[in-house]
Amino acid sequence: MLVSSEVIKQSGVAFGTSGARGLVESLSENVCAAFTVNFINAMRTSFDFNEVAIAIDNRPSSRMMAQACSQALLQLNIKVMYFGVIPTPALAYSAMLDGIPAIMVTGSHIPFDRNGLKFYRPDGEISKQDEANILNANVEFEPLEMLCDLDVSQVAETRYIKRYTSLFNSKILSGKRIGIYEHSSAGRDLYSKIFTELGAEVIALGRSDEFVPIDTEAVSAEDKKRALEWVYEYQLDVLFSTDGDGDRPLVSDEQGEWLRGDILGLLCAKALNISTLAVPINCNSAIDLSGAFAHVTRTKIGSPYVIEAFNNPHTGDARTDLASCIKGSVNLAGFEANGGFLLGSSVQYNGELLSALPTRDALLPALVVLVETILQKSALSSLVKGLPSCYTASDRLQNVLPMISKKLLIEAESNPVAFLDMLGVEVRQGIVVKTNTLDGLRMHFNNGECLHIRPSGNAPELRCYVESNSKQLAQNLLLTAMAGLEKRLLN
């Protein structure tokens, strides 16, 4: 017999900002089984169930991991409902409808040599407390000597498609040309069905037989070039894509300009008449400046923190009593800088009830904002121009160990002005008017600009976020900071 906590500890696999992540070689059959039995142990303290839903992304290692999780569930006499390759929110939505837990095998946007497991309670994403319970439980289980076959059910895909097509009683997208950058996204076959059913002309682009780890917060130069070329060549109104597991959107306007995820989220939240909002600290200040929301709470980065803020007034900076707002508000949501939109309550939209889905969803913000361009008879770029002039940019340095990132943060926190000077960011004494260490180090300057660095919770990466009052100034600040950080780390 194996002891689950010992297997997990020896593997080195740990929870990141959303889900357990690690090297593929560390996510062996027995490690997947250990996480699974501990997850079930944690869920059984609060829920009764005899079935668990499982789905995967297109990473080569994902199917084996799903088989290992399924084999562990069979040891516990739990039935497996396997949905194959579908977006994470489609799995979560179907599991919530059935009132059962779910496991998504995905590494999302992290590098190719890694993968992960995301866990869902019958009522949505697991909490940070659930994560601790999963890591620390001591459950004995038989080593896996064989892996079960998996038959794919179409139920989750069908439900997810209906969730959005049922909101409209007409071909609402008729006349729109939508490009879908498919790459290896888990939803690449599903999205075209939804947009086509709603009347759009869909052009499939960039399908890949190999897994492509798209990061919606660090769009590559190649993907920026693709957007410009495809929008021009195919005369697209919108170019839509997602990360690997379909919970973070990547949307380009009719000019081939990729929207920042938090700008897409802001437009969506306004269109849904959201009144109470929870967003991570690195989201665009235009959210507050827009005046569109009665209450906004800022949290640490990661969907579990956004979800925690839905119910806990002491999450984030705690300056807004969010929980008390919820009691009198039916329109509650959150989104992240990566664009993933979390619908915290059911809302009325287009005369229909759109049920809550408190997990990141890539399709909802893209669809709602696209419909908004039709209702307002406006191009997507014009909707963006109607927001307060506040621009963000972000990038990452890969292969930076967490201990190196933490050492750098200590240096920066001890003397922010000297640190900025070392990076090559032009500073003068007193330019840093405020710092925030809620998640990494966020430095606010007296000219309204902001620089934020933090270690990624999902991979050995150092993240950098900037904010300025023009797109060019934001890009200049980012390039300067990234060059300085890279030089500092090389030394």
The distance in angstroms from the start CA to the end CA of the chain is 48
Q: Around Cβ 401, how many Cβ atoms within 10 Å?
A: 12
* Contact call for residues 424 and 479 (beta carbons, < 8 A): no
- Supply 344's token pair: 């915290």
Q: Which residues pair with 397 in a beta bridge?
A: 462
Closest by alpha carbon to 425, among 489, 482, 340, 344?
Answer: 482
Could you tell me if residue 198 is left (phi over 0), alpha (psi between -120 and 50 degrees) or otherwise beta? alpha
Closest by alpha carbon to 364, among 96, 98, 165?
Answer: 165
Q: Around Cβ 9, how many Cβ atoms within 10 Å?
A: 14
Residues identified as active-site = 108
- The secondary structure of residue 217, as a DSSP letter, is T
Q: Which residues pair with 450 in a beta bridge?
A: 444, 467
Q: Around Cβ 233, how many Cβ atoms within 10 Å?
A: 11
Our CA angle for 301, 60, 302, nearest 5°, is 5
State phi, psi for 7 to the nearest 5 degrees: -65, -45
Task: Give me the amino acid identity at 446.
Answer: N
Task: Give me the amino acid identity at 240.
Answer: F
3-state secondary structure (DSSP) of residue 329: coil
Give the C-alpha distances (Å, rounded to integers) separating 138 from 33, 70, 245, 249.
13, 19, 30, 38
3-state secondary structure (DSSP) of residue 203: strand
Strands 177-183, 238-242: parallel, antiparallel or unpaired by DSSP?
parallel
CA dihedral angle for residue 192, residue 195, residue 198, residue 202, rounded to 10 degrees: -80
State phi, psi for 271 to the nearest 5 degrees: -65, -30
* Contact call for residues 218 and 396 (beta carbons, < 8 A): yes
Q: Identify the sign of the CA torsion 402, 403, 409, 413.
A: positive
- The secondary structure of residue 152, as a DSSP letter, is P
Give the C-alpha distances (Å, rounded to integers) separating 464 from 4, 116, 148, 304, 443.
36, 23, 43, 21, 11
* Contact call for residues 422 and 362 (beta carbons, < 8 A): no
Helices (H), 173-321: 188-197, 221-234, 261-271, 286-289, 303-311
